[in-house]
Chain A
Amino acid sequence: MELSGAQILVQSLQDEGVEYIFGYPGGAVLHLYDALFQQEGVKHILVRHEQGATHAADGYARATGKPGVVLVTSGPGATNAVTGIATAYMDSIPMVVISGQVPSPVIGSDAFQEVDMVGITRPCVKHNFLVKDVTKLAETVKKAFYVATTGRPGPVVVDIPKDITDPKIKVPYKYPKKVVMRSYNPVTAVSKNQVKKAVELLLNAKKPMIYSGGGVVLGEASQELTAFSQLLGFPVTNTLMGLGAYPANDKQFVGMLGMHGTYEANMAMHESDVIIAIGARFDDRVTGKLDEFCPYAKIIHIDIDPASIAKTVKVDVPIVGEVKQVLALMIELIAEHKGKVNKKALEAWWLQISQWQAIDCLQYDRDSMLIKPQFVIEQLYEVTKGDAYVTSDVGQHQMWAAQYYRFSKPRRWINSGGLGTMGFGLPAAIGVKLAFPDAHVACVTGEASIQMCIQELSTALQYKTPIKIINLNNRYMGMVRQWQEFTYESRYSHSYMDTIPEFVQLAEAYGHVGMRVDQPDEVRPALEKAFAMTDRTVFLDVITDRTENVYPMIEAGKAHNDMKLRVATGTSTDRELA
Chain B
Amino acid sequence: MRHIISILIENESGALSRVAGLFSARGYNIESLTVAPTEDPSLSRMTLVTSGNANVVDQITKQLNKLIDVVKLVDLVEASHIERELMMVKVKADEQSRNEIRSLADIFRGKIIDVTNKTYIIEITGTSEKLDAFVATLNPDHIVEVVRSGATGICRGDHGLHV
Contacts and interface: CB of A to CB of B under 8 A. Distances in A.
Do A and B pair up? The answer is: yes
B55 A310 contact: yes
B69 A183 contact: yes
B55 A183 contact: no
A122 B13 CA distance: 13
Interface string A105-126: 0000000000000110011001
Nearest to A151: B66
A437 interface: no
Contacts, number: 37
A302 to B, nearest CB: 16
A119 B17 contact: yes
A107 to B, nearest CB: 11
B71 A307 contact: no
A206 to B, nearest CB: 29
B25 interface: yes
Interface in B8-44: 9-10, 13-14, 17-18, 21, 25
Interface string B57-100: 01100110110111100000000000000000000000000000
Nearest to B26: A123
A183 B70 contact: yes
A232 interface: no
B147 interface: no
A123 B66 contact: no
A182 interface: yes
B66 A305 contact: yes
A180 interface: no
Contacts of B58: 310
B136 interface: no
A118 B14 contact: yes
B1 interface: no
A183 B68 contact: yes
B113 interface: no
A118 B17 CA distance: 10
B40 to A, nearest CB: 11
Nearest to A124: B25
B17 A307 contact: no
B25 A130 contact: no
B56 to A, nearest CB: 11
A307 B21 contact: no
A183 B71 contact: yes
B107 interface: no
A184 B68 CA distance: 6
Nearest to A152: B66
A181 B21 contact: no
Given A306-B62, A310-B55, A126 B17 contact: no
A147 B68 contact: yes
Contacts of A122: 14, 17-18, 21
A126 to B, nearest CB: 7
Contacts of A181: 68
A304 B37 CA distance: 31
A183 B62 contact: no
Interface string B92-128: 0000000000000000000000000000000000000
Contacts of A123: 21, 25
Most chain B beta-carbon contacts within 10 A, residue among A126, A182, A305:
A182
Most chain B beta-carbon contacts within 10 A, residue among A123, A307, A310:
A307
B68 A306 contact: no
B71 A130 contact: no
Contacts of B10: 183
A307 B61 CA distance: 9
A126 B68 CA distance: 8
A311 B9 CA distance: 24
Interface string A181-193: 1111000000000
Given A181-B68, A305-B66, A307-B62, A130 B21 contact: no
A566 interface: no
A127 interface: yes
Q: Which 6 pairs between the two chains have the least Cβ-Cβ distance?
A: A307-B62, A127-B68, A183-B71, A123-B25, A184-B68, A306-B62
Given A130-B13, A184-B68, 9 more contacts: A119-B14, A119-B17, A122-B21, A126-B68, A183-B10, A305-B66, A307-B63, A307-B66, A310-B58
